[in-house]
Chain A
Amino acid sequence: GESVGLHLPTLSVQEGDNSIINCAYSNSASDYFIWYKQESGKGPQFIIDIRSNMDKRQGQRVTVLLNKTVKHLSLQIAATQPGDSAVYFCAENTTPASKLTFGTGTRLQVTL
């Protein structure tokens, strides 16, 4: 939940490979989760969301998995492209909609 530290964990993947970014969330009462992508100089961009009554949701090239037992969330990106290079944040929310609590973020570097 709370972000700490100055150094983001970094995931380096080759173009075309699949990427898996993990996130541990803090509040067992959270029932709505979102993944955001943030490129340099821009605000976070919505990627995909999932509600706690689901354990998997797929979008275009992305899949989010939710494991409520261990409070873990993951984002899978298929066939990673250079344009996927960014910092990825997971966020949790408790309905009714209120504040989002963000994870520390993971930097994804795509190598050619």
Chain B
Amino acid sequence: EAGVTQSPTHLIKTRGQQATLRCSPISGHTSVYWYQQALGLGLQFLLWYDEGEERNRGNFPPRFSGRQFPNYSSELNVNALELEDSALYLCASSGGQDSNQPQHFGDGTRLSIL
């Protein structure tokens, strides 16, 4: 069974640009979560999508947004990139909001802002 897959592996942008990160959940999982892991810091919750709807949002500015597609894959969009957005962005999936199963993570997208 394929795990959570994320693309691209690495992404280099400059300040002010926009970035799009993609995630495919484990087959059968309907919930997708996004986390930011900045260098030297732990994981910070960004967004949770389930059945195509945004269910919860972390303490991040509105320029962080996303969506979930009918096939349950997801995109994270970051607008007006700032230097401090440089981080590893991790996507996780689980069986949905009623299943209370563990979240399983992909290996992330390393976003570097120059």
**Are the chains A and B members of one assembly?**
yes
Residues of A that sit less than 8 Å from B by CB: 2-7, 32, 34, 36, 41-46, 49, 89, 91, 93, 95-105
* Cα distance A33–B16 in the bound complex, in angstroms: 38
Most chain A C-beta atoms within 10 Å of own C-beta, residue among B40, B90, B100: B100
Given contacts A3-B44, A96-B97, A97-B99, 6 further A-B contacts (CB under 8 A): A3-B43, A42-B107, A49-B102, A97-B94, A99-B33, A102-B42
Contact A44 to B43, CB < 8 A, known contacts A32-B100, A95-B100, A100-B103: yes
Q: Chain A: interface secondary structure?
A: loop
B97 touches A99 (CB 8 A): no
For the complex formed, measure the closest distance between the CB of A36 and the CB atoms of chain B, giving whole angstroms: 8
Most chain A C-beta atoms within 10 Å of own C-beta, residue among B48, B102, B107: B102
Q: Residues of B within 8 Å of A, CB-based: how many?
A: 30
B41 touches A3 (CB 8 A): yes
Other-chain residue from B31, B42, B55, B94 in contact with A103 (beta carbon distance below 8 A): B42
Q: Which residue of the partner chain B has the closest CB to A99? A: B45
For the complex formed, measure the closest distance between the CB of B7 and the CB atoms of chain A, giving whole angstroms: 13
* Cα distance A97–B99 in the bound complex, in angstroms: 7
A99 touches B43 (CB 8 A): no
* Cα distance A97–B93 in the bound complex, in angstroms: 11
